[in-house]
Amino acid sequence: METGLYIHIPFCKQKCNYCDFASFAGREFLMPNYIAALLQEATQSPTKNFQTLYIGGGTPSLLPLDLLTRLTKGLAENFGPISHFEESTIEANPESLTREKADILKAAGFNRLSIGLQSFHDNELNILGRVHTQADFLRAFEAARNSGFKNISVDLIAGLPGQTLESFVDSLAAVIALRPEHISVYGLQIEEGTPFFERGVVCDQLLMRRMLEETHTRLTAAGFHHYEISNFARPGFESKHNTHYWQYGAYIGLGSAASSFWGGVRRQNTPDIADYTLRLKTNQSPVVFQETLEEQAREGEKLLLALRQLDGVEPTEKQLAYFAKEIEKHIQNGLLVRAGKKIKLSSEGLYLANEVFCSFVAPFEETE
């Protein structure tokens, strides 16, 4: 059974204004004990056989050189050489990715780097609460290339407060000119509990849609494959790890707030760094939540995850038994289309995907 391995590094130099992830600024003093706890949890993994590795956060590149080396060596001791993974990705932010760190990661066996740019304009980065500049990003990107990384992904956000269509397209064009292998473009979501939410920031949905339409047009013209709602890759560089998620594959998550899906059971670790560290130190389980989805909920989740991929999905008999009415409704309203035996998001549905997805999530409508 193919299985993905996710490692969560919850430390950040500064919390961004839009971020609702389980990440924390000003906790660097907890890093040594956290890495020790994480490697302790690694020894307890129910499997050692993984095909993909993804280290996310937070900001993994914020780890100092000694802890970065300790983490990579510890993972290799538990799961075999990192170079043996089909795909091994680590996230980095421009302000903390140095040439020395890039060299360490490449030598450790990582073959993919994901850099969080978000915007090519310093004024927009400031609005987001990012601590890097355009110059920092260009330096980090060059460092990654010079270290030998031949698979680099760059993240952008559309729909920022004060962002214009022209400034967004300028950011997109600047990234295309660098010729990364993968580009992710996310529409800004205002999540409860973030500074943007507290300030009452509202997105211009129509403008955001125009930005995302421009993204599709320009990236496909530049030779990128639009393979998932927010993701574009040069052919052959589609994210294997994330595709495994969308295809409802099993995965193990290590670290605070990390989720696992193994043996049909979903589990999540405590999000509190100190609590996580203490639990591992005292031989307690870090898991604070687990559930097994009922059959209809499970089949609905399989459908909505698969529909994130632009190639679509061929519904099973079981899925049709539960959701034929909902599928037909969205075909009639133009958000889904049939493509042979498959169904997939239409051009319109691509921008209204959540309206489709909510049909496959409990509570379900009562059927006659």
Picking from 7-21, 100-114, 159-173, which range would have the lowest pLDDT averaged per residue?
A: 7-21
- Across the chain, what does the average pLDDT equal? 95
User: How many domains does the structure of the chain reveal?
Assistant: 2
Residue 175: is its pLDDT beyond 90? yes
Residue 364 has pLDDT above 80, yes or no: no
* 107-118: average pLDDT: 97
Q: Is the domain of 56 the same as that of 175?
A: yes
Domain boundary among 212, 245, 278: 245
Q: Please tell me whether residue 328 adopts helix, strand or coil conformation.
A: helix
Establish if 71 belongs to a structural domain. Answer: yes
In a domain, 198, yes or no: yes
* Residues 229, 315 share a domain: no
Phi, psi of 224 (to 5 degrees): -90, 145
On whether the CB atoms of residues 35 and 78 are closer than 8 A, the answer is no
Tell which residue, 168, 162, 161, has the closest CA to residue 213: 168
Same domain flag for 53 and 199: yes
Same domain, 154 and 90: yes
Q: What's the whole-number mean pLDDT along residues 125-134?
A: 95
pLDDT-derived band at 15 (thresholds 50, 70, 90) equals confident
Closest CA to 357 of 309, 294, 314, 295: 309
Q: Tell me, what's the pLDDT at 362?
A: 81
Q: What percent of the chain has pLDDT over 70?
A: 99
Pair 122, 33 in one domain:
yes
Asked if residue 327 is part of any domain, the answer here is: yes
Q: Is the pLDDT of residue 367 over 80?
A: no
Residue 75 inside a domain? The answer is yes
235 and 305 both lie in a single domain: no
> Are the C-beta atoms of 89 and 112 separated by less than 8 Å?
yes
Q: How confident is the model at residue 52 (pLDDT cuts 50, 70, 90)?
A: very high
By residue range, what is the domain housing residue 339? 295-360
Same domain, yes or no: 107 and 233? yes
**Single-letter amino acid code for the residue at 178:** L
Distance separating alpha carbons of residues 225 and 352, to the nearest angstrom = 20
Low-confidence winner among 28-32, 122-126, 201-205, 214-218 (lowest mean pLDDT)? 201-205
The predicted model gives 318-346 an average pLDDT of 96
**Domain CATH for 195:** 3.20.20.70
For residue 363, whether the previous peptide bond is cis, meaning omega lies within 30 degrees of 0, is: yes
Q: What average pLDDT does range 357-364 have in this prediction?
A: 88
Q: Is 334 among the domain residues?
A: yes
Same structural domain, 124 and 184: yes
Q: CA-CA distance, 105 to 113, in Å (whole number)?
A: 9
pLDDT at residue 159 greater than cutoff 80: yes
Q: Are residues 159 and 63 in the same domain?
A: yes
Pick the last residue of a domain from 245, 279, 307: 245
Same domain, 221 and 323: no
Question: pLDDT band for position 368 (50/70/90)?
Answer: very low
Band (pLDDT 50/70/90 cuts) for residue 366 is low
pLDDT above 90 for 6: yes
Answer whether residue 273 is part of any domain: no
What's the half-sphere exposure (Cβ side, CA atoms, 13 Å) at 171? 31
Confidence (pLDDT) at 223: 98
- Do 304 and 237 share a domain, yes or no? no
- End-to-end C-alpha distance for the chain, whole angstroms: 38
Q: Decide which of 213, 245, 277 is a domain's last residue.
A: 245
Per-residue model confidence as pLDDT tens digits over 77-111 = 999 999 999 999 999 999 999 999 999 999 999 99
Is the per-residue pLDDT at 237 higher than 90?
Answer: yes
Q: How far apart are CA 161 and CA 45, in angstroms?
A: 42
Encode pLDDT of 259-287 as tens digits.
999 999 999 999 999 999 999 999 999 99
Q: Which pair of tokens denotes residue 148?
A: 């030998």
Is the pTM higher than 0.85? yes
Residues with Cβ < 8 Å from 331, sequence gap 6 or more? 337, 338, 343
pLDDT for 20: 80
Q: Are residues 11 and 159 in the same domain?
A: yes
